[in-house]
Homo-oligomer: A and B are copies of this chain.
Amino acid sequence: MNETDVTTMTSSEWELMRIIWTLNGASSREVIDEIQRKRDWTESTIKTLLGRLVKKQMLTTLKEGHRFVYQPAVPETEAMDATVSELFTHLCEMKKGQVILSLIEQVTLSQSDLKSMQALITKKLETAPEQVACNCLTTGGTCENHCED
């Protein structure tokens, strides 16, 4: 039940999590060294962030001697999907397609990713609506109503 809310992760926290996800668990030293290759955060700052991630239950600790191995408490994929979904709830329904399009444009995608998308899109085309209405106003007025006056 009471699931960890990954959507409250901040940018800095994402940076630590990525390392820990990728290493599939890491000591504070590993995280600190890795982070400091890119950011000039002090050791202290990074420790604070680790602590906060543990408190937020994004990380679990395994005691190994008297020090810890920090482990992800949530799978990376789950966190990515949840965060992106959450962001999309803020966007105008009508314009999400455009946003995804420009994402596809900007991201480097593998053959296999592209093929999966192609398949999915072909399937979605079978039942896709002609238009998707704007849902920004509760009154039901759509963007067009207003933008073209």
> A84 interface residue, CB < 8 Å from B?
yes
A18 / chain B contacts, CB cutoff of 8 Å: 90, 92, 136
A95 close to B80 (CB less than 8 A): yes
A110 close to B130 (CB less than 8 A): yes
Report the minimum CB–CB distance from A12 to chain B (whole Å). 10
A22 close to B92 (CB less than 8 A): yes
Report the minimum CB–CB distance from A136 to chain B (whole Å). 4
A97 close to B113 (CB less than 8 A): yes
The secondary-structure label for the interface of chain A is helix
**Which of A106, A110, A130, A134 has the most chain B CB atoms closer than 10 A to its own CB?**
A110
B137 close to A111 (CB less than 8 A): no
Among candidates B106, B129, B146, B149, residue contacting A110 with C-beta atoms closer than 8 Å: B129
CB closest residue in chain B, given A142: B22
A121 / chain B contacts, CB cutoff of 8 Å: 104, 114, 117-118, 121
Residues of chain A in range 2-41 having any CB-CB distance to chain B below 8 Å: 11, 14-15, 18-19, 21-24, 34, 37-38
A44 / chain B contacts, CB cutoff of 8 Å: none
